[in-house]
Amino acid sequence: MPCRSGMTPDPYVNNREIDKLTQMLCSLIRNIHSDGKLYLIPSNVKDWFHIHEEADRKRILEEEAERRYQEEQQRLREERLKIISRAVLKLTDEEKAALGFK
What is the extent of the structural domain holding 71?
A: 15-98
Return the C-alpha torsion angle 58, 60, 66, 71, nearest 10. -150
Q: What is the mean pLDDT of residues 48-61?
A: 93
49 and 26 Cβ atoms separated by less than 8 Å: yes
Question: Has residue 5 been placed in a domain?
Answer: no
0.85 exceeded by pTM: no
- Indicate the number of domains in the chain: 1
Question: Has residue 37 been placed in a domain?
Answer: yes
pLDDT digits (tens, 9 = 90+) for 19-47: 888 999 999 999 998 898 988 999 999 99
41 and 32 Cβ atoms separated by less than 8 Å: yes
Alpha carbon of 18 to those of 6, 11, 39, 60: distances in Å? 9, 13, 25, 19
**How far is residue 101's CA from residue 90's CA, in Å, rounded to a whole number?**
13
For a pLDDT cut of 90, what percent of the chain falls above it? 66
Q: What are phi and psi of 14, to 5 degrees?
A: -90, 95
DSSP letter (8 states) at residue 39 = G
Question: Has residue 91 been placed in a domain?
Answer: yes
Alpha carbon of 47 to those of 1, 37, 81, 86: distances in Å? 22, 15, 51, 59
